[in-house]
Amino acid sequence: MKTKLTKSNLRDARTGYIFILPFVVLFAVFKVYPLIYGFAVSFLGRNSIRTVSDTTFVGLENYVKVLQSNSFWTSLEKSFQYALIYTVVVMVGGFLTAMLLNRKFRGRTFVRTMAYLPYVTNVIAIGIVLKYLFNPTKGPINAIFRAFGEAGPKWFSSPDLALPMTAIIGAWLAMAFNTITILAALQDIPNDLFEVADIEGASGLQRIRYIVLPMISSALFMLLTITVINSFKSYTTVVSLTNGGPASSSRVLSLQIYEDAFTYMKFSIAAAEGTLFTLIIIAFNKILDKVRAVWENR
């Protein structure tokens, strides 16, 4: 359809602006402005409890300090490790669960409802319970290991496992969103495709490879975008499961930012870290977009 400059089109445009105005204004004031504000604060000298209202411009000093500090790079690395594990588990787990729950079997409604349960939970409460379940000496999980004469892994208190564990738990809590979306997308696949597959005698894996995956690929890419975005929101999960420990082994960047700002009152340093983190995430997403475009145009 070609756009003609008619009276009705003009009115449409005006309605359009009016309709998006509240959203855009609120978005600018409460989402964009804090970003700019943070950017501005990162150039000030508000780095102790005494200088919280300081307005001295210090240039790039905070950025230099942050980029030179080990803790920034290690916690950035932890954030990406978390994001990677989280994304893989959510995507693969969400897909497999959806495939399982899409089959007809007795008690399917019940099983589906249960599978969504982790998504509605309060991380704080479930964190307490999980710490109990995975307690190496008293938890039921290691009791199973001990029954076989093994001590079992140390889970959250092992420096090697703490971060992957939190990422997997975070993914398990969030996975239901993907499961639901994929289940819905699966319902859109025309039945005759499967009928053809039946006639051809296709195996289960072949069905997934040649029918399911191509048919839901756009949903999967949408989910991937959302999952990657969510994968960097690790604060609450990490705080309620390991609080960054043991010995900083699960200290992700958001924890570091929080601590720098609200425990040590280094607001400008924290703002610089936040700004850098934001830029890195945006750059990372841009690269993912490119990869995705290449993939889709194969």
Partner 1 sequence: MKKIVCTALLIVAAASMLFAQGSNESATASTEQRVVTTVCRASYANEEWYNRMNADFEAETGIHVDVQPTPGNDDDHDAKVNIDLLAGRTIDVIPSLGPKFYYERVEAGFFAPLSELAAAAGVDVNSVYGGYLPADESGEFYSVPVKQELWCVFFNRNLFDAAGVPYPEGPWTWDEYVETAKKLTDPSKGIYGSHMSIDPPWTIMLAKQEEIPLYKEDGTCNFDDPRWREAIEFYATLGNELKVQMSVEEFKNENASWNYYALAGDHIAMFPNGNWFTRLLNSQTDYPKDWSYGVAPMPSTGNENGANNLVSMGYVSVNKNAAHPEEALEYVLWLGENQWKYEGGIPALATLSEEDKNLAFSSVADASNGQVTVDEIYNAWINTGLGTTESDIIGTAAGEYDNIVEDELEAYFLGLQSIDVTIDNVVNRVNEAIKNVQ
Partner 2 sequence: MGKQIKNSAGSKALTLTAWLIALVALFPFFMMVLISFRVSGDAYEPFYYIIKPTMENYKTVFLHKNYLDWYSNTIVTVVITILLRLLVTLPASYAFSRLKFKGRGFILGLLLATMMVPGETTMVPRYLYFKTLHLLDTKWSIILPEITEVFYLMLMTEFFRSIPEDFSEAARIDGCSHPRILSSIFLPLSGPSIATTVLFSFINIWNNFLDPYLFINSIDKQMITPALKFFQERGGANIPVQLAGASLAIIPILILFTVTQKYFVAGVSSSGIKG
What one-character DSSP code corresponds to residue 262? Answer: I
Binding of partner 2 by 71 (CB under 8 A): no
Q: In the complex, what is the shortest distance from the CB of residue 253 to partner 2, in angstroms, rounded to a whole number? A: 8
Q: In the complex, what is the shortest distance from the CB of residue 137 to partner 1, in angstroms, rounded to a whole number? A: 5
Binding of partner 2 by 7 (CB under 8 A): no
Binding of partner 2 by 17 (CB under 8 A): yes
263 binds, among partner 1, partner 2, none (CB under 5 to 8 A by kind): partner 1
Q: How many chain residues interact with partner 1 (CB under 8 A)?
A: 29
Number of other residues whose CB lies within 10 A of the CB of residue 51: 16
Nearer to partner 1, 144 or 196 (CB): 144
Beta strands in 215-255 (DSSP E): none
Cis peptide before 136 (omega within 30 of 0): no
What SS3 string covers 161-220? CHHHHHHHHHHHHHHHHHHHHHHHHHHCCCHHHHHHHHHHCCCHHHHHHHHHHHHHHHHH
**Could you tell me how far CA 286 lies from the centroid of its own chain?**
16
74 binds, among partner 2, partner 1, none (CB under 5 to 8 A by kind): none
d(CA 270, CA 292): 32
Q: How many chain residues interact with partner 2 (CB under 8 A)?
A: 103
- C-alpha separations of 175 from 99, 117, 170, 231, 260 in Å: 13, 10, 9, 11, 31
Site string for partner 2, 83-122 (x = CB under 8 A): --------------x-xxxxxxxxxx-xx-xxxxxxxxxx
d(CA 90, CA 97): 10
Q: Which of residues 263-282 bind partner 1 (CB under 8 A)?
A: 263-266, 269
Binding of partner 2 by 27 (CB under 8 A): yes
130 binds, among partner 2, partner 1, none (CB under 5 to 8 A by kind): partner 2
Please select the residue that binds partner 2; options are 210, 226, 246, 259, rule is CB under 8 A: 226
274 binds, among partner 2, partner 1, none (CB under 5 to 8 A by kind): partner 2
Nearer to partner 1, 179 or 268 (CB): 268
Site string for partner 2, 151-190 (x = CB under 8 A): --------------------------x--xx-xxxxxxx-
* Phi and psi at residue 44, to the nearest 5°: -105, 175
Instruction: Record the tokens describing residue 201, joined without a space.
Output: 């005698």
Planar angle of CA 196, 205, 112, nearest 5 degrees: 95
Please select the residue that binds partner 1; options are 39, 81, 131, 285, rule is CB under 8 A: 131
